[in-house]
Amino acid sequence: MATLAQPGVPWWTGLGDRPDRLNHSALRRTVEIRLYAELNDFVAREFRKRSFVYQFTGQPSIKDAVEAIGVPHTEIDLLLVNGESVNFSYLLRGRERVAVYPVFEGLDISPVIRLRPAPLRVTRFVADVHLGRLARHLRLLGFDTVYRNNLDDSEIVAISLAERRIVLTRDRGILKHGCLTHGYWVRSCIPREQVAEVIKALQLESKLRPFTRCSVCNGCLTSVDKAKLAGCLPPRVAQTLDTFFRCEGCGKVYWRGSHVDSLCRWMAGLRGSRRED
């Protein structure tokens, strides 16, 4: 079984590999940990989808232990110790079996302790400075997404807490802010893949509301009378289309352009996909 030691202590694989180190570790305790589903993305390959041994000294909280392994607490929705659900303040004593589960909105885990205060019924996001294109795509899908290219970490955390928004980030460090409750570390670097990843991870397939929000400013789109747009539309658009929307935020006018069909096919694919593990 692979072994992962506390930060600052070299780790190695295989308990039999380094008996000398074990001999020096009389005060070191161990627990057996297993990560489930996408939480495996945070650890090296040899620790994925299997139990591994985590070594520690003292009596760390389970929150500190899982974050030391590399899993931000905001990614976790359920912790089981020897089959019983516990909260983040549980202190490890040694010899426990720990199971760590990510957010899973689709499963009923109401009889056990949910680690986050409550699931967010209305899914809203705040995206970090690296995720501008993801933010625009999410707005296209109808998700209320705050993004500015000058937000620093503390501002992102403050917006998340004040407006109950899920932090989307490429920087795991943000997710380790102690007061943060909802966040997701985006694995992919490619914007469209990032969208598919977020939809799958947070199980949002049924919550897509395409073309209801301005991709530029995040404002809501409302129907606007064609007559009010007289003189503002390209002649070909004015001749062929009758349905128009205007952003309540920036005033930008939207209509069903030639790219909409390909966007609709892409969105249909997003609705139909689910992570299986």
Residues at the site binding Zn ion, with contacts judged by CB under 5 A: 214, 216-217, 219, 247, 249-250, 252
CB nearer Zn ion, residue 210 or residue 249: 249
> CA-CA-CA-CA torsion for 161, 64, 97, 111, nearest 10 degrees?
-20
Q: Which is nearer to Zn ion, 183 or 219 (CB)?
A: 219
76 versus 247: smaller Cβ distance to Zn ion = 247
The nearest distance, CB 165 to Zn ion, in angstroms, is 18
Of the candidates 62, 59, 66, 60, which has an alpha carbon nearest to the alpha carbon of residue 4?
A: 66
Under DSSP, the state recorded for 175 is H
- Residues 96 and 92: their CA atoms lie apart, in Å, by 8
Q: Map residue 144 onto helix, strand or coil.
A: strand
CB of 124 to Zn ion, least distance (A): 17
Burial 146-172 (b: 16+ CB within 10 A, else e): bbeeebeeeebbebbbeebbbbbbbbb
Tell me the closest approach of the beta carbon of residue 244 to Zn ion, in angstroms. 14
Of 136 and 182, CB closest to Zn ion: 136
Query: Which lies closer to Zn ion via its Cβ, residue 136 or residue 177?
Result: 136
Q: How far is the CB of 181 from Zn ion (least distance, A)?
A: 29
CB of 249 to Zn ion, least distance (A): 4
| Residue 9, phi then psi, degrees to nearest 5 | -110, 125
Closest C-alpha among 73, 277, 91, 86 to residue 177: 73
Nearer to Zn ion, 236 or 259 (CB): 259
| Residue the block writes with tokens 């503002």 | 232
State in angstroms the smallest separation of the CB of 214 from Zn ion.
Answer: 3
